[in-house]
Amino acid sequence: MSDERQWAAVILAAGYGSRLQKDIENDPSKSFDHLLGQPKALLPVGGVPLLDHWLRAFREADGKVGPVVVVTNELFHRQFQEWAVSRGLGRNAVLNDGTTANENRLGACADLQLALTAKADVLGDRDILVVAGDTLFFQDFSLGAFLRALPDGRSGVVTYQVGSDAETRKRGIVEVDGTGKVTQLLEKPEPSATASRSACPAFYAYRSSCVPLIGTFLEANAAAPLEAKDAPGQLLAWLVTRTDVHAVPVSGRFDIGNLSQYRDTLAFYAQTLDANLRPHAGAGVVVGRACARAAIAGNPSDGFGGKTLSLLVANYAASVTVRASERVVFVPHPEYDKGDEFASMGELLLSTELNGYYGGLRLLRAAAKRFAALCEAANVPLVSNFTMSYETSIPRMVGLSGSSAIITAALRALLQFYAPALGDGGPAALLARLGLADHDVPQLVLDVEAAELGITAGLQDRVIQWYGGLVLMDFSPGTPRGAAYMRMPVALLPPLYLAFNTRLLGDSGKVHSPVRARFADGDHVVVGGMRRLAQIADESAAALRAADYAALCDLMDENFALRRKMYTDAVVGERNLQMVELAKAYGFAAKFTGSGGACLCLRRPGAAGIAAGADGRRALELTAADEEKARRAFAALGFVFVRVELDTSGESGGESTVLSALDGAKPPEIRGAVLQID
């Protein structure tokens, strides 16, 4: 039947989806508002963008499909480029037809000709598959089988039987002779006009010999109104009178012209995917979450065999969603994984200042890769594929541990997603099957960052983000890690506030610090300073237990002063110093949450506005008016100021708890480079 020539694919996705967008705007449930501004071809279907289904079909067609070109408009160009880059096609696979609204659209046929001309070097003399971006066939469709069914040298279309006579008025109906050759296409005919009920969706296989006729069609209709040459069905009706076109029947197609049709498509895919995946995955959609981290005391001694006392900041968190899908897909974040194209130098500057040079996609992939390797080594079957996406509200590059939060959330989600396939034991049983205890997970997160991505990191952040709440950590040499983590009741904490920098460029805190080398050389300032910081962590824990908040304030201030002495003002940075000094001016003790960019603030019992002797927990809380005054003062200098919301997810009662028992085990090796661990 079919010859072995390789096909190219042109996806027509320059429509504006006006009717669907209007339906979403008017939908009283507001369930689909998050899809406003999304092109139809990228709408999620079965957990992945619609075009992913076509990309899978191309890749599973026995090597018969080569280059892929997507034609879109100016409005959606960026979104399709992001999709193409994330799917390995490259941004040059997307062609912008330059239109900006439905009123000045070129039309599908002109867009096809644009692709044939502008991408001639890519398409070459290949046969061309033409696919409307909002077209989707039932899941039993096989592109490879369709191509094999085409007689040599003959172009092809697919047909399906309409459900009622009235449907003919909405479809292009083809008449086919006994050999399968299309003899005529009627556009939306009356039922009485033809005995055929074979509808022809917007999917065409054009042989290279008939490709030049597309330009001829447009030239012949140059003076005709757009409606006479817009739809690809009109081109097909013209072509079947000039070249042989073969019809191949399929079981059916989805039409996503309006919200009702989109709902029907989602329901169909939900039913079929759930039926296929339920015996394996047991969890259709799961979400893992991890909050921002702030060290109360001790940092950065944790990178030097010291101790830290840390808490989670529930105001800001990363979440990772994993849902069952046919392929493993990592969805780029629309803000943090923008790729390498910007509207202007100003956008480049702003995006890089706010988000840095790397998004979160690499963190998801690295976490999934490490997890897959563990499962393979432990003979744990990964019986379902997934689509993974993420969101994060954690401010970036200010020492709140946003990267490890994404990885921790991803591992949590993967454990939840795959655990049901092993029975009723949940994630803990899967961890045990992988040969891991609870206290091994922070090291696993560190391995993802250090070994997979080369990120310099340490354990403090990963410990608190895995265990949650408030944890005292001991990294003293020779201490078994199982006994190194002590959870303390979150209820011991007084009202705390967080300030962080929103101006990320130009901070002299990026100056290289020789502290590690000085520590290794036995510098008494650094060695003594790190020893004292470890003591401060213990003393701060004791101050919390005694509700001695004045002592805790003194310890926080001492912690910052020691850091400043060891690292110097050039490394600490002018902006960071300004932030801490502003906090002190408002009666707060303040210290870095991590390596700089954010500070944790505790109001001193003797600060202005606090009655003498009123040193209880509630007395340290700002009034609404005072909090707003402080917020405005910080905002005026480019800082955010908020009340810390505490995480209580790990609470197990009102007592301090050792997080894993002393078992005399040899201390596990800490893998990964460690410099400044906060």
Catalytic residues, which ones? 461
- The radius of gyration of the chain from alpha carbons, rounded to an integer in Å, stands at 31
Phi–psi pair at 44, nearest 5 degrees: -70, 130
Matching residue, tokens 């040599």: 152
- Cα distance between residue 77 and residue 439, in whole Å: 46
- Cα distance between residue 105 and residue 15, in whole Å: 8
- Cα distance between residue 415 and residue 410, in whole Å: 9
Angle at which helices 574-585 and 624-636 cross, to 10° = 150
Here the tokens at position 603 are 């109001």
Nearest Cα neighbor of 324 from 361, 284, 356, 359 is 284
Residue 488 three-state SS: strand
How many C-beta atoms surround the C-beta of residue 665 within 10 A? 13
Do 595 and 675 meet the contact criterion of CB atoms below 8 Å apart?
A: no
Q: How many CA atoms lie within 13 A of 39 on its CB side?
A: 30
Angle at which helices 108-118 and 212-220 cross, to 10° = 130
Could you give the maximum distance between any two Cα atoms of the chain, in Å? 100
* Helix-then-strand count for the chain, H and E: 21, 25
Phi–psi pair at 657, nearest 5 degrees: -135, 130
Scanning 512-573, the segments in alpha helix (DSSP H) are 515-520, 524-545, 549-572
Phi–psi pair at 378, nearest 5 degrees: -95, 5
157 pairs with which residues across the strands? 204, 247
Residue 159 three-state SS: strand
Please classify residue 633 by burial: count the beta carbons closer than 10 Å to its beta carbon, then call 0-12 exposed, 13-18 middle and 19+ buried: middle
- Cα distance between residue 8 and residue 128, in whole Å: 5
Here the tokens at position 487 are 């959870």
Pairing of strands 94-96, 182-187: unpaired
- Residue 575 Cα distances to 20, 336, 399, 510, 582, angstroms: 48, 24, 14, 11, 11
Here the tokens at position 67 are 């280059």
Scanning 223-305, the segments in alpha helix (DSSP H) are 232-239, 259-277
